[in-house]
């Protein structure tokens, strides 16, 4: 009988486990936001820990992927909105700061989750005549509250599959809002103009 193979040099696995710790690795995913002046700030997106690797724990799970997409989407959208509001904080004519008149909540529906936004309602500056006293910058920038990609997939899958199957499919693979239902998808299918999804796909954006 031959002697068992013996390694005199420690392997990478031995080095990880030799100090009594478990084999494994930790991941911290971050979103780094860089503003126009080059200043960076970091938002934590996710922390993932893995022990010994197996085919089930190799890379991301579907659930982790969905949570990460949702978290990145939330961070990106809030930053974009804050940037847009900063640009509109002053009157473009005279440069005076606009006074706030409260805010209301707005929900934006995207493939990577619903995003709740605080939508401020500043007063128009008195240096110009305006029909209304106040306005909503977010309503002016984003009159639609559903992203066209979201609408496209809702309409496409509703037209190819039973509503409930299409709805389940969206929930299975994307972090869409948990309240998305077959009824909503049916309503959206009937609300869009004929050929809308075909034209959207032809535009090269889908
Ligand atoms: Zn002004």
pLDDT of residue 9: 46
pTM: 0.82
Residue 21 φ/ψ, nearest 5 degrees: -80, 165
CA distance 167 to 155: 10
pLDDT of residue 98: 92
CA 97 to centroid of ligand 1, rounded, Å:
8
Q: What percentage of the chain carries pLDDT values higher than 70?
A: 88
pLDDT surpasses 70 at 1: no
Per-residue pLDDT of 23-81, as tens digits, reads: 689 999 999 999 989 999 999 999 999 999 999 999 999 999 999 999 999 999 999 99
Window from 40-44, 106-110, 188-192 with minimum mean pLDDT:
188-192
CA 96 to centroid of ligand 1, rounded, Å:
6
CA 129 to centroid of ligand 1, rounded, Å:
10
Residue 176 burial (C-beta neighbours within 10 Å; 0-12, 13-18, 19+): buried
pLDDT of residue 21: 55
Per-residue pLDDT of 152-171, as tens digits, reads: 999 999 999 999 999 999 99
The residue among 41, 19, 16 whose CA lies nearest residue 31 is 41
Secondary structure E strands in the chain: 25-34, 40-50, 100-110, 113-122
The residue among 184, 125, 119, 189 whose CA lies nearest residue 152 is 189
CA 106 to centroid of ligand 1, rounded, Å:
27
Query: Helix (H, G, I), strand (E, B), or coil: what is residue 182?
Result: helix
Ligand 1 (single-atom ion) residues, CB below 5 Å? 91, 93-94, 96, 125, 127
CA 27 to centroid of ligand 1, rounded, Å:
49
CA distance 162 to 166: 6
| Mean confidence (pLDDT) of the chain | 88
Six token digits for residue 187 = 């309503």
CA distances to 29, 60, 156 from 55, in Å: 21, 11, 33
CA 100 to centroid of ligand 1, rounded, Å:
14
Q: Are 117 and 138 in contact (CB under 8 A)?
A: yes
Q: Are 139 and 121 in contact (CB under 8 A)?
A: no
Query: Helix (H, G, I), strand (E, B), or coil: what is residue 50?
Result: strand
CA distance 34 to 192: 37
- Between 132 and 201, name the one with better pLDDT: 132
CA 107 to centroid of ligand 1, rounded, Å:
30
pLDDT of residue 36: 87
CA 142 to centroid of ligand 1, rounded, Å:
23
CA 201 to centroid of ligand 1, rounded, Å:
42
- Between 71 and 198, name the one with better pLDDT: 71
For 68-99, the DSSP string reads HHHHHHHHHHHHHHHHHHHHTSB-TTT-PBPP
CA 130 to centroid of ligand 1, rounded, Å:
11
pLDDT of residue 203: 81
CA 145 to centroid of ligand 1, rounded, Å:
29
pLDDT surpasses 70 at 206: no
CA 119 to centroid of ligand 1, rounded, Å:
21
The residue among 151, 146, 163 whose CA lies nearest residue 193 is 151
pLDDT of residue 20: 52
CA 109 to centroid of ligand 1, rounded, Å:
34
């Amino acid at each position: 009988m031959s002697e068992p193979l013996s390694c005199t040099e420690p392997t990478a696995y031995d080095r990880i486990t030799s100090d009594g710790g478990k084999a494994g690795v930790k991941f911290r995913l971050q979103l780094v936001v860089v503003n126009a002046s080059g200043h960076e700030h970091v938002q934590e997106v996710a922390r993932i820990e893995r022990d010994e690797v197996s085919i089930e724990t190799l890379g991301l799970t579907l659930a982790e992927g969905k949570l990460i997409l949702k978290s990145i989407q939330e961070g990106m959208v809030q930053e974009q909105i804050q940037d847009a509001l900063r640009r509109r904080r002053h009157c473009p004519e005279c440069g005076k700061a606009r006074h706030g008149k409260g805010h209301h909540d707005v929900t934006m529906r995207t493939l990577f989750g619903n995003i709740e936004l605080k939508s401020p309602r500043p007063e128009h500056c008195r240096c110009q005549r305006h029909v209304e006293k106040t306005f909503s910058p977010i309503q002016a920038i984003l009159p639609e509250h559903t992203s066209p990609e979201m609408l496209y997939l809702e309409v496409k899958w509703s037209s190819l599959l039973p509503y409930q199957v299409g709805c389940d499919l969206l929930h299975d693979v994307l972090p869409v809002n948990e309240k998305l239902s077959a009824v909503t998808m049916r309503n959206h299918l009937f609300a869009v103009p004929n050929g809308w999804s075909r034209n959207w796909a032809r535009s090269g954006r889908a």
